[in-house]
A and B are shown apart, each in its own frame.
Chain A
Amino acid sequence: MSHERTNLSSDNDEIRSLNMHNVDIDFDINLEEISKIEGAASLSIKVRNKSVADLKFSITEWKRFYTQAIKGKPAIGVPQLVDRICGTCSNAHLLCSIKAIENAYNIKPSYQTILLRKLLYYGLIIRDHALHLYIFALPDIFGKNSILDFDENDQVQHKLLEDTFAVKEVGNQLSVVTGGRSVHAPLPTVGGFLKYPNLFDLKNLKPKLLEIRPKIMDLIKIFSNSFNLELKTDILYSGLESDDFSFIEGTIKTSNGQVIDDKDLGNHLNKTIIPYSHATGYKLDGEYLMVGALSRLNLGKENLNQKTKEAIDEYLSKFPSKNIYDNNLAQAIEILHAIDASIEIIDNLQSIEPEPIIKPDINSLGYPEFISGSNNGSNEIPNQVRDDMGIRVGIGVIEAPRGTLYHKYEIDDRGMVKKAEIVVPTGQNQILIERAIKEKVEEMVVSNSSREEIINEAEKIIRAFDPCMSCASHFLKVKWK
């Protein structure tokens, strides 16, 4: 077990101050780099006298300051830059950013564009959830370090190793065909697609989608009966709900019955500075907040594709669920939905028309030299943009694989970004993740669990939330008091 050091005696001053210090029951855990998650995070736990004296879950990715970097850049070019925030869910950032800018210019994408974006997105859901479930979470269930350690001679394990790559590949192909690439898809743009997929290629994906469907049924069965952790802490589940469970459209709803307008979300989220983390945490109206697959299933399971609902009725009855590990089950169910919904769209597609891209009003968006009369005939670009007029605000909210993603841009009358705000799912879950680990570790300390058992359990809990550190750590201006 690497990156993890016992530190029984280095903290002498502190230990001396605890008169009851006992090396048999007091210990420190310091996991510097947790494996099998997206990005870098660390966990430190200090146990004194059979109680958790301190516990810190920190996101340790180094910031890249995207919200500062896009200031002053043309809004039209922002989606392809901000999708570099995250490698795994880049297409979520891409579509969320496009949505925000389209909203700023009141652009309504065509029906065909929306269908193709949904297909691109279902590809993301399949490959991203599959990465988490097979490569990150499944080894915990089988007591292995890695999916690569699965026993080739064991029928079940051998099949799961093959399923891992077969499922991921179909999700990958769906994104490649619709978006040009599964990571940082080059084809989707504000107002449409730069190039349209070939209908024949899309139709060819149907048999492949059907082929992985039984594999996902097996996966759902495995995750329906894995681990259990229900927190004593009350949790507010939040997410976008839409009629067709499409992830990229819908209305923000919460488990206490609120419906939140996109533009009001910022007023409900309570930003919390975590001094030891490179990322900002959030609560919602002061409550512990959870976003992601579990929240989506808790709030809107009736919107899943009809075929999905018919196939897994017995598992759907578990939702709404308070078991944190059902986030894994919910992700597996969402893969099935993404397969069934994709097949439905592909079946209904008769043709793909090369539609023109709907461009933002050129008088408002674009480079300053194109703005007629704005600078009195001078070729100089004005340095100051007046705040009192011409500022557009665009907000995009979608469900990223790990939960609600929010992009907000203020765009000036030259089409340049003046201010940007991005809230990612892992930021919203960060406070709850720490809370969940703390509750479980406190219980384990009392029941005399070993240090190794605690480490395993804590890592498992973190993985259940499927956090994405790349996303979480690259934004806001932070002030520590």
Chain B
Amino acid sequence: MNKKRIGWFSFTCCEDSTIIFTELLNTHYKEWLSKIEFVHARILRRDEYPEIQLMDVAFIEGAISSDIQEQKLKRIREKTKTLVAIGSCAVTGSPSNQRNFFNPENIVEIKEILDRFKYKEKVLKVSDIVKVDDIVPGCPMNEQIFLRIMTKYVL
């Protein structure tokens, strides 16, 4: 059986779902590693390819703060059969999008950083930019839902 080609990508977030994922590996790694090839997963390995590779499933964690991130997300969408948004920031934008709700006084304080590093005007959730096939909500992601998603698309 061909292994499923998986990508795990983190954008603007605290990467808590990445940590939950590595904790789930504690008890699932034997089964999963026999069925999965990690094509992109910066937490586990250095990427071996310069460009985004074809994938069966891409897991997207975090919200989108910049045009660079938006372009990368679109490239991932082009290269994956299935795209799953993982955790609260990817699914709803929050809490990474909290600056969207700042009052004018707070915006003034952070404006210099926003300008200097070319932040997007608003932080976006994943489905604002690309088609999302499925979601795993939660902060961090809900483990039981993630396990169901793994069964549905990967195992």
Contact = CB atoms under 8 A, between A and B. Distances in A.
Interface string B30-69: 0001000010001111111110000000000000011001
B14 interface: yes
Nearest to A35: B46
A147 B44 contact: yes
A172 interface: yes
B117 to A, nearest CB: 6
B4 to A, nearest CB: 15
A199 interface: no
B22 interface: yes
B12 A64 contact: yes
B112 A480 contact: yes
Contacts of B113: 63, 278, 478
A135 B43 contact: yes
Contacts of B117: 62, 278
Contacts of A71: 106
B100 to A, nearest CB: 10
Contacts of A65: 98-99, 102, 106, 110
Interface in A140-161: 145-149
B33 A183 contact: no
Given A165-B29, A480-B112, A135 B22 contact: yes
Nearest to B140: A183
Contacts of B116: 480
Interface residues of A, number: 50
Given A69-B95, A478-B112, A148 B45 contact: yes
A408 interface: no
B151 interface: no
A62 B29 CA distance: 31
Interface in A55-91: 61-66, 68-69, 71, 81, 84-88, 90
B44 A62 contact: no
A38 interface: yes
Contacts of B50: 2-5
A414 interface: no
A127 interface: yes
A38 B15 contact: yes
Contacts of B27: 165, 169
B134 interface: no
Given A3-B47, A81-B95, A184-B139, A35 B16 contact: no
Nearest to B99: A65
A64 B109 contact: no
B25 A165 contact: yes
A168 interface: yes
A129 to B, nearest CB: 13
A36 B43 contact: yes
Interface in B80-99: 95-96, 98-99
Contacts of A38: 15, 43
A69 B98 contact: yes
B16 A168 contact: no
Interface in A423-481: 470, 477-480
Given A36-B46, A87-B14, A90-B14, A131 B22 contact: yes
Contact of A168 (B13, B26, B98): B26
Nearest to B52: A2
Contacts of A68: 99, 102, 106, 109-110
A20 interface: no
A182 interface: yes
B69 A62 contact: yes
A421 interface: no
B20 to A, nearest CB: 6
Most buried by B among A3, A40, A62, A168: A62
A70 to B, nearest CB: 9
Most buried by A among B43, B47, B102: B43
25 contacts: A1-B46, A2-B50, A62-B69, A63-B65, A64-B95, A64-B98, A64-B99, A69-B95, A84-B139, A87-B18, A87-B140, A88-B16, A90-B14, A146-B44, A146-B45, A148-B33, A165-B29, A166-B26, A168-B23, A172-B26, A183-B19, A184-B140, A278-B117, A480-B112, A480-B116
Given A36-B44, A64-B95, A477-B110, 18 more contacts: A1-B48, A2-B48, A2-B49, A33-B42, A62-B65, A62-B117, A69-B98, A84-B14, A86-B15, A87-B13, A87-B17, A90-B16, A127-B23, A131-B22, A146-B45, A169-B23, A172-B23, A183-B140
A-B interface, 5 closest residue pairs, ranked by CB to CB distance from nearest:
A87-B16, A2-B47, A146-B45, A169-B26, A62-B65
Interface of A: 1-5, 33, 35-36, 38-40, 61-66, 68-69, 71, 81, 84-88, 90, 127, 131, 135, 145-149, 165-166, 168-169, 172, 181-184, 278, 470, 477-480
